[in-house]
Amino acid sequence: MGAGDSLGAALARRFASEGMTVCIARRNAEQLQPLVDEIREAGGTVHAFGCDARKEEQVVALFGQIEKEIGPLAIVVFNIGANIQFNVRETTAQKYYKVWEMACFAGFLTGREAARYMAPRGQGTIFFTGATASIRGAEGFCAFAGAKHGLRSLAQSMAREFGKQGLHIVHPVIDGPIDTPFVRERFPELVAERPADGLLAPDDIADTYWFLHTQKRSAWTFELDIRPFLEVVTNF
């Protein structure tokens, strides 16, 4: 859920390369066609869906269609962003609510529907992609941090509820800038001062997700930080 052009696309390619049938979804299904073509040209199997993850009826229908027409879910990834910057006094109620809908409420709908199908089978992995804002707030990101904190709490609650039922719930914290056209265009100085591997590479992040999925349940990871080597860990 949230198969964008960066990490979402990398995850789809990675899972497809392992022989999995991949289902990718975003609000505008037409925007998924280049990714569909890329995966199929590489020999993978992929299905694309249009879905607004904030709409309960659409999420319920999507999961039902996949389970009925394609197969049982093995991995579910909630990967919707909503990293929008506003100072507190400039943040309207509408903006705050929209960010929460996208980054938190949509995660609840996705996680709930995934668990409804996966828990009775007693196996599977559910990822909730986190961010730096999941663990600390920052100036200009009150809405995003609030939503991401909520998503992290959702993941914690689901891990405690469904871990004992055989579901691996994971909250990877993407703690650094991902190498995307957006980052390169908006922060050219940051990019210029770093070496080629100084930004988070989507394909490398995808490798970490696959590793987490293949962990033995005697040593499951719930949360880990993923950051480039240049990032400094701080308390705030």
CATH (domain of 200):
3.40.50.720
Query: Which value, to the nearest 10 degrees, does the dihedral of the CA atoms of residues 136, 125, 229, 236 take?
Result: 10
Q: What is the pLDDT of residue 81?
A: 83
In a domain, 68, yes or no: yes
In a domain, 71, yes or no: yes
Q: What is the pLDDT of residue 235?
A: 46
In a domain, 31, yes or no: yes
In a domain, 231, yes or no: no
Query: Total domain count for the chain?
Result: 1
pLDDT tens per residue across all 236 residues of the chain: 999 889 999 999 999 999 999 999 999 999 999 999 999 999 999 999 999 999 999 999 999 999 999 999 999 999 998 878 889 999 899 999 999 999 999 999 999 999 999 999 999 999 999 999 999 998 888 999 999 999 999 999 999 999 999 999 999 999 988 998 888 888 888 888 899 899 999 999 999 999 999 999 999 999 999 999 987 655 44
Q: What is the pLDDT of residue 48?
A: 97
Host domain of residue 219? 7-226
In a domain, 40, yes or no: yes
The pTM assigned to this predicted structure is: 0.94
In a domain, 139, yes or no: yes
In a domain, 190, yes or no: yes
In a domain, 232, yes or no: no
